[in-house]
Amino acid sequence: MDGRFAPSPTGSLHLGNLRTALVAWLFARSAGSRFLVRMEDLDESVCTPEHEQSQLADLDALRLSWDGPVVHQSERGALYDAAIDQLTEAGLTYPCWCSRREILEAPSAPHGAPPGAYPGTCRDRDPATAPEGRPPALRLRAGETRVAVIDRIHGEFDGVVDDLVLRRNDGTPAYNLAVVVDDADQGVEEVVRGDDLLPSTPRQVHLARILGLTPPSYAHVPLVLSPDGERLAKRHGAVTLAERGSASEVRSLLAASLGLSRPGEGVTMNSLLERFDPEQLPRQPWVLRPDEI
């Protein structure tokens, strides 16, 4: 099944990003499928061509080959607009003037929805009562639908879909909309990504369905954590390929963390493909030892 890796070009890829990219590549190649790369570069304030080139160079150094040209979300606005128009014509959108602080301080949100879920404040709001000078975002009228997802690593996961943002108040298409439209348009059949995004998956499945699209299957890879149990970051040491200096060392380290090799064993991409079994992937985070960073 065709897979993809879709980073945001906001900085260097760290070991956690590279590990997820490796797993995504193995899922696709072991199925004899295409592996695509897409740059999620809608936020022009933090995305740069330099970061993109650095990320692509890292993938190339690890021998994570991809098919076709790299796709950029910043060039796909017409697709997102068409999807939003379709939802609006179906009566499934409404403007929202709430600030992030107001949402966080709201007294209630749909039970079972992910953290930060929208409580529906503006769902039936009279536009005449909207704050002056504050442009609205556009939200999906989701109806607090509960959606179940079968994840290939975590098993069944379900959650309530809140009235998610489709277009931000600065006019930028929101992540949940863009990723659904992109995956369907590119023919992505299996999404492999970090399991921090698992809570958003019911939203994306619901959005795909009401757009008349077939949702992909999902495999959410456990994160890489620092020795203190926190999410990996630059302050934790040599966590990028450039800082490690050796693509072969990093490939071996990542392979061992996935149970595909012995610690320190040199591996090739062909040997990893021969050993890869999705059913045997770790279900828990990989916690780096101090000597590994």
Question: What is the 3 state secondary structure string of 53-108?
Answer: HHHHHHHHHCCCCCCCCCEEHHHCHHHHHHHHHHHHHCCCEEEECCCHHHHHHCCC
pTM score, whole prediction: 0.93
Are the CB atoms for 153 and 222 separated by under 8 Å?
yes
Q: Tell whether the model's pLDDT for residue 112 goes beyond 70.
A: no
The percentage of residues in the chain with a pLDDT greater than 70, rounded to a whole number, is 94
Report the C-alpha gap between 103 and 99 in whole angstroms. 6
For residue 289, what pLDDT band results from cuts at 50, 70 and 90? confident
Report the C-alpha gap between 220 and 194 in whole angstroms. 5
Phi, psi angle pair for 220, to nearest 5°: -100, 115
Tokens of 21: 């990219």
Q: Which of the residue ranges 76-80, 159-163, 236-240, 264-268 would you say has the lowest mean pLDDT?
A: 236-240
Cβ neighbours of 143 (radius 10 Å): 14
Nearest-10 crossing angle of helices 175-186, 77-89? 110
For range 229-255, the mean pLDDT: 84
For residue 58, what pLDDT band results from cuts at 50, 70 and 90? very high
Are the CB atoms for 78 and 35 separated by under 8 Å?
no
Q: What is the per-residue pLDDT for 44?
A: 85
Question: Rg of the chain's alpha carbons, rounded to an integer?
Answer: 20
Task: Tell me the per-residue pLDDT of 156-185, one tens digit each, with 9 for 90 and over.
Answer: 999 999 999 999 999 999 999 999 999 999
Are the CB atoms for 141 and 163 separated by under 8 Å?
yes
Q: What is the per-residue pLDDT for 237?
A: 63
Task: From 283, 203, 288, 284, select the one nearest 254 (Cα to Cα).
Answer: 288
Residue pointed to by tokens 């999404």: 191
| Alpha-carbon 149 to chain mean position | 15
Q: Tell whether the model's pLDDT for residue 59 goes beyond 80.
A: yes
Residues in the chain: 293
**Where are the domains positioned within the chain?**
3-75+222-292, 77-182
**Mean pLDDT across the chain, nearest whole number?**
92
Report the C-alpha gap between 57 and 227 in whole angstroms. 28
Cβ neighbours of 234 (radius 10 Å): 12
Task: Tell me the per-residue pLDDT of 33-47, one tens digit each, with 9 for 90 and over.
Answer: 999 999 999 998 899
Half-sphere exposure of 106 (CA within 13 A, CB side): 17
The reply to whether 77-182 shares the fold of 3-75+222-292 is yes
Catalytically annotated residue among 135, 234, 263, 270:
234
**Catalytic: 234?**
yes
Q: What is the per-residue pLDDT for 107?
A: 66
For residue 104, what pLDDT band results from cuts at 50, 70 and 90? confident
* Fold (CATH) for 77-182: Rossmann fold (3.40.50)
Q: Which residues contact 18 (CB under 8 A, 6 or more apart)?
A: 58, 62, 241, 250, 254
Are the CB atoms for 201 and 149 separated by under 8 Å?
yes
Strands (E), the chain: 3-5, 35-39, 71-72, 93-96, 137-140, 146-151, 155-160, 165-167, 190-194, 217-221, 224-225, 286-287
Q: What is the per-residue pLDDT for 248?
A: 95
Looking at domain 3-75+222-292, does it have CATH number 3.40.50.720? no
Q: Which residues contact 246 (CB under 8 A, 6 or more apart)?
A: none
